[in-house]
A = this chain, B = another copy of it.
């Protein structure tokens, strides 16, 4: 709640007071979870495993996982990381603006050294490789062995695919421009209408504005944010749809296990699968747009051929390689992720040093996207993740996209007339399926097992490639 407030409501000079509150809460939480007796209690519970039902066993497993992450790293290292990341993030903001990688280098080196140390400690405690221990923080059960295979397959596929798509799109007429003035009030009103249609419960959640959109709050009180560009309606619209995917996951978590570790959403990859499923699979979709385009026209009192479902769809499915991940289209986005995954894995393993990052970045980008960043600011310094110490997070974006495609492939089998539901704006069958297979399962299974229970198989890159080919080449 304090994080949400920080992004939406906090007066500009109240950051210090908020920082003190967050630090105090973090300290209290750390003290609670690192109490000496907790290890004994967990061990005792494990020895009585047989009397627990499967949810209780999963809850114990998640308790142990949280406890391991919190206790594996000595308190002074945790504190050193926190300070180094804070400092590094400050210098990163400045250095990125000035495109000065050299100035930033020592800060990133310090962060990396500390994260390596932490990853090694976590790995030893959890019997995982250092990088897999970092992964486990964000995507429990995922391993680099599994991701390597999937991402390598995708890396082989993408360059040719992107080139084919661009060739095809070059032959087709460009979409009509969708310009105008779209008042944020009308955007918000349409966004809220669509959120409600999708199942968002405004008696247990809100929609507000922040610079960087996110879905926060707690189950029972979901706080979703967006930003409005009054010249570009579509980016805000799909942003709200994306966050609504996150929100509906949180809203669908089992009430029975609320505030218990097993009752929390499974990792970031599954979370991202829910947002991308709504954004990329369901709403960035001609069936859905057939339903939504008239609502858009009426919301802004506009009309014309540019507002046809087909034109909007053509608009949002244009593909072109670019430097910046957050601006990338659906087809080129995974290349940005594979690049980062490969480089951070090498960095954690000690096989790539920060000083060699610009060159390695440039090489990977040319290999995967056929372009070379014009500056470090538009290259290896564009993201906040590494300056902030968040190694092991990047792969979850593409794991999420692939998981979404795999889920939708199963959903289309179970709900053969999904398209006609979407054209009528009926989302109930879709979210009933997701509620049953994903939302209500919370952290009962590891991410791979959750997906296997839901679709009958673990993550399969073929289904994701199918989705991309069918959308962009047919």
Contacts and interface: CB of A to CB of B under 8 A. Distances in A.
Nearest to A12: B203
In the A-B complex, the 4 residue pairs with the closest CB atoms: A17-B220, A14-B221, A13-B203, A17-B221
B1 A221 contact: no
Contact of A218 (B21, B202, B219): B21
A437 interface: no
A10 interface: yes
A221 B18 CA distance: 8
Interface string A184-214: 0000000000000000011111100000000
A17 B203 contact: no
Contacts of A203: 11-14
A384 B259 CA distance: 32
A221 B16 CA distance: 9
Contacts of A221: 10-11, 14, 17-18
Given A1-B2, A5-B5, A11 B206 contact: yes
Copies of this chain, whole number: 2
Interface in A212-270: 218-221, 259
Contact of A11 (B10, B28, B205): B205
A371 interface: no
B20 A206 contact: no
A125 interface: no
A9 interface: yes
A21 B14 CA distance: 22
Contact of A204 (B14, B21, B202, B219): B14
Interface of A: 1-2, 5, 9-14, 16-18, 20-21, 28, 32, 201-206, 218-221, 259
Q: Which residue among A11, A13, A201 has the maximum number of chain B CB atoms within 10 Å of its CB?
A: A11
Contacts of A5: 1, 5
Given A1-B1, A1-B5, A28-B28, A17 B206 contact: no
A218 B11 contact: no
A28 B32 CA distance: 9
Contacts of A201: 13
A5 B9 CA distance: 10
Given A11-B204, A11-B221, A13-B201, 16 more contacts: A1-B1, A1-B2, A1-B21, A5-B5, A9-B9, A11-B205, A13-B203, A13-B204, A13-B220, A14-B203, A14-B204, A14-B220, A17-B204, A20-B259, A21-B218, A28-B28
A244 to B, nearest CB: 15
Given A5-B5, A11-B204, A11-B206, A218 B28 contact: no
A403 B115 CA distance: 57
